[in-house]
Amino acid sequence: MSKILAENTNNSTQHSYPNYAKDEVSLVDLIRTVIKRKKIAYIVFSLIMFVTIIFIFFVPVSYTSDATISVGYLPNPLVSTASQDVSNSENTVLYIENPNDLFKRLQGMYKVKHVKRDGVNIIELSITGLSPQKTQKLLIKTIDDTLLKHELIFMSVFDKRKVHLKKLQNNYLELEKQIKIFDQQILLLKEGLFEQAVSLSIEKGKILSLLPGLSDEILNIGLSIEEPQSRKTMVLKYPTLQVQEKNPLRYMIVGFFVGLFLGVFSTFAYEFVVKIKSKLI
């Protein structure tokens, strides 16, 4: 009885710890499988290359339209521009539209590049499509809409500055008139009412202290509306249209490696299916 139990124990031990060494696959086995099923690899590889060649002949031609604009600005009236170059100082200008905001706004529709050359913010736009008319027309519309929007903003700010400048100039003239009146009154009061003359002199001094600041503000706003028209947003390169030439070599290289991979993979897949069928039979 003990002998039978020992044999059963040995048998159960053998079944519990199978030997997987026979299932291991070496590199040599893989190479042999590829050689053995090379016809399948040839067929798959040839099929992929054939499809690639057909694709090259029938792939549609694409068109690229690109344009370049410079972002307009207005001199900042809060900063003196008499001795500074507004094109080289970020603090002395107020952009019609912040270049970074314009970049983000257009980025969703186009391939956009923001560069700065000689102190000027430049936005380069590019779009690729299958229809030459639609591709160029879309970019032209975007450029025209941007120019119109910036022109309206520019003229609105420009007109407001003109009105504000006129108001400041009138205030300045009014203060000058008051000073002249004070001078006349002080001259008369000095003859008898000295204390009142001193009081008027103090008031005159207060008005005189306002004149330099007011004069600087008038000068800055005056300069800001006398800048050349290059401040406006301008088209440096109007939308052009270019044909994207096909690159057969690139497609052939991609097709070659894809076909090679799928060809080798198909040999392993076929061999695996054959082994499964043989075990089932």
Most confident by average pLDDT, 149-153, 220-224, 232-236, 272-276: 149-153
Residues 142, 125: contact at Cβ < 8 Å? Answer: yes
Over residues 222-238, the pLDDT tens digits come to 666 665 544 778 888 88
Name which residue leads in pLDDT, 104 or 8: 104
Digit-coded pLDDT (tens) for 92-136 = 567 888 888 888 888 888 888 988 887 788 999 988 877 777 888
Global pTM value: 0.54
Can you say whether the dihedral through the CA atoms of 103, 107, 110, 115 is positive or negative?
A: positive
Residue 230: beta bridge partners? none
CB 247 within 8 A of CB 205: no
> In this structure, is the dihedral angle defined by the CA atoms of residues 31, 37, 41 and 44, taken in order, positive or negative?
negative
- Per residue in 45-54, pLDDT (tens digit) is 889 999 988 8
